[in-house]
Amino acid sequence: MKQSMLYPCTNAHRSFASLDGLWKMQFDPASDGITQNWQDGLPDPFSMPVPASFADVFTEKEKRDYCGDFWYETKFYLEADDGRDVILRFGSITHRATVYINGVCAGFHEGGFTPFVLNITELVRFGNRNRITVRVNNELNETSIPCGTTKVRKDGSRLAQPYFDFFNYSGIQRSVHLLKVPKEAILDYDTAITLNGSDAVISYQVKTSGEHSVSAEIFDRKGNRVCANTGKSGELLIRDARLWNVRDAYLYTLVFRILDDNGGEIDKYPARLGVRTIEVKGNRILLNSREVYLKGYGKHEDFEVIGRQFSWTVAKRDFELMKWTNANCFRTSHYPYAEEWYQMADEEGFLIIDEVPAVGMMRSLMNFAAAGAGGKDTRFFTADTVPQLQKNHKEQLEEMILRDKNHPSVIAFSIFNEPETTYPEARDYFAPLFALARELDVQKRPLTGALLVNSTPGKDTCAELCDFISLNRYYGWYILGGPDLNDAEGAFRAEVDAWRPICENKPLIFTEFGADTHAGEHKLPSVMWAQEYQNECYEMNFRVMDSYDFVKGELVWNFADFQTTEGIMRVNGNKKGIFTRNRQPKDAAFLLKKRWEQK
């Protein structure tokens, strides 16, 4: 069942129980849990909520910053065997996990931001209590993404040293579900949409674990059936289709059923369907054949105390704030978010650039400064670790697309964020990943990747792989900040001029730009870190962007302040947020609200 990323649902054939709650947890700094048989029960655990990022619940620094192996344990009761498969589904475990059921290894997963499932039918005890133990590791290295290194201190303890500018939150960070599904089950499906006048043709493919036939039906919002077909692949025709649009998100319900030889149901899976097309044509981005300008944010899954744990309340607040500022888009920087974010975006009519966690592909413990100011290449893609890194990158790219491919909100996939792309080995590394994404995505969404400031025309080797160009640029902050703001504008214009020949046939969007600002800091004349300066920096950036007709989007960095590794250039985190970490507006929020109302 590893190939099934379908979100849990319940009906006559499928059921699930949430295993969220208070689990047991224990750190394993010596990595001797296996030899001491911790898979059979943790010897000295403490309680830990699941899901949660464990770091911010503690008051001790050594626990907050813990790096290495750590374990979780819980028990669940399973009723009598009813003939269905028992599936254990983790929304995410960061970064790698080995799962044991009643002391027996059930499977391993690498990658901290996508779900994985395990068929544990043969390992559970029906009519009895069962134990789950999970061995987790959150160390960073150069063979898995996101990239970084792990420092061993004099006392033998380890410290994560990210090559990226956000905190290395880890643990069982998303929900855990115990599913029961039929032996012959729906595993996956693909949809592709073609508009024909006012009608829509939905091409579909369904993957099951058996040979029985499949039916497909589409229902409108009122529950009326609008079309149907049979077969594991086929087409569904919606007459006078209601399209899914920005901030006007009409959703149909698509229902697949496996039918036995007498027409009875074996399995059923319902899903939401948004009828929309997305394409890049010349230097325009077209949604439903109409040009769309992307305006919004880079974000993080980050909030006080809960870290990267998903909260419906926080997500609702974020969407309300994005609507208040008249945004229409966000990038899942720098990893796939919890699935519920995409469900809400489907409902709210927001556009998503979905990003694989390929961040930190340059050796710098202050990569934000190096990337922003034009740091020196470290020849990252010439290392011996590259083959294993690329293998993990491919697997996580595949898992992201497999999970998110049917969301109408997802309009593009981002293959990387700020890697070194100025030498041929970088292109050799990324070209197969772009090819894989094009192969996997039936909807053929545009592909992109966010380029750092070193990646300029004539030097960059990977922009040609992208369907639209995405630039992270910090003119007025890392480059020519403060008293040199006027010079920053000239330097910014000079670079965008250099992109013009490339952007005759490709849109250009800015995926990061902005300035750190403390919410309570005001000063006239302005200085860096004051709210007045943040506004001046944005106004300069907007003057430049508005001068070029091939600029088709602006995603400011960042939606809200977020936690990072501590250091002399970070005052308890990154302060580039338009909103504070607890979601209150800075002055720049009102600037964006006014601009995007008219954009």
Q: Which residues are identified as catalytic? A: 418, 512
Look at strands 265-273 and 252-259 and give their pairing: antiparallel
With beta carbons less than 8 A apart as the criterion, state whether 40 and 94 touch.
no
- Alpha carbons 138 and 21: distance in angstroms, whole number: 21
- Alpha carbons 237 and 227: distance in angstroms, whole number: 6
The residues that bridge with 217 in the sheet, in sequence order, are 228, 255
Q: Is the peptide bond before 336 cis (omega within 30 degrees of 0)?
A: no
Quickly count: other Cβ atoms within 10 Å of residue 432's Cβ: 12
Please name which of 498, 502, 595, 500 lies closest in space to residue 556, comparing C-alpha atoms.
595
**Quick one: angle between helices 485-499 and 531-545, nearest 10?**
30
Look at strands 508-512 and 551-556 and give their pairing: parallel
Stated length of the chain: 599
CA terminus-to-terminus distance, the chain: 46
Q: Is the peptide bond before 177 cis (omega within 30 degrees of 0)?
A: no
Compute the 3-state secondary structure of the chain and give helix, strand, coil in percent, each to the nearest 5.
20, 35, 45
Q: Which runs of E-coded beta strand occur in 157-239?
A: 158-162, 171-172, 176-181, 186-196, 199-208, 213-219, 225-230, 233-238
- Alpha carbons 269 and 186: distance in angstroms, whole number: 7
∠ CA 411-417-422 to the nearest 5 degrees? 120
The residues that bridge with 135 in the sheet, in sequence order, are 71, 98
Please name which of 256, 221, 269 lies closest in space to residue 13, comparing C-alpha atoms.
269
Please name which of 389, 358, 383, 364 lies closest in space to residue 143, comparing C-alpha atoms.
389
For 232, the token pair is 């594991």
- Distance (Å) of CA 587 to CA 300, 326, 533, 591: 20, 16, 10, 7
With beta carbons less than 8 A apart as the criterion, state whether 547 and 503 touch.
no
Q: Which residue has the tokens 């039906």?
A: 217
